[in-house]
Structure 1
């Protein structure tokens, strides 16, 4: 059974483990801990296991911004990213929600499109040769 919850500090090591599956290290541990402490980290659960997580803030021009969505490779294409986004949108304190992904991340573009987000801009020079595409959705 799939469900979502606000992460708590007891989830930290499992979340960092999923993140390190993707990026190959634990360099975002402090970022994840800070998001958990602030109540801005959402986890998707399958039974008693964390399948993925989402981190957001509300400092993007006074709008919500989903800064990170990570789903464990073994749990991808099963609706967890959409589940996390739906929940975040339902609890967002702002009417506008933004996020972004690199132009090269085709699978994430599909996730945004299938969840009703639209392209809203582009930021060059974050990653050489791979611009960041900004997405937007209104609540």
Structure 2
């Protein structure tokens, strides 16, 4: 059984554990803590264990922007990223929702497309030789 909810500060260590599985450290602790405190962090739980999270803000031209979607490597390809996206789209504080991923991240591109996002442009020069693709969804 799964549950998708806004994160609480008591979830911080569990979220950091998932993040650390993916990036190998807890260097985003303050970023994640701030998102939780602003109520801009969503978690997906499987049997009371956090298996993924999504962070967004509304600073992108007054639109929601999903800046991070992380799912534990052992829980990928089970629909958790889509559950997080669905919750975000259904509860977004703005009509327009944007996000992005590298051109090389084909898995995330498929997640966006499966959740009704369309390509909306590219940004060069963020990661050398790997353009960022901007995605858009209007709920």
Query: In structure 2, what is the equivalent of residue 81 of structure 1?
Result: 81
Counterpart in the other structure of 1:29: 29
3-state SS of paired residue (1:27): coil
User: Quick one: distance in 1 between partners of 2:14 and 2:93?
Assistant: 27
Structure 2 residue matching 1:17: 3-state secondary structure: helix
- 1:1-139 map, 5 Å: 1-139=1-139
CA distance in 1, matches of 2:6, 2:113: 25
Q: State the distance in 2 between where 1:55 and 1:62 align.
A: 16
TM-score, reference length from structure 1: 0.98
Q: CA RMSD in A?
A: 0.6
Unaligned runs of 5+ in 2: none
Question: What is the rounded CA distance, in whole Å, between the counterparts of 1:22 and 1:123 in structure 2?
Answer: 24
Aligned length: 139
Using the size of structure 2 for normalisation, the TM-score is 0.98
How far is the alpha carbon of 1:104 from its aligned partner?
A: 0.5
1:113 CA drift (Å): 0.6
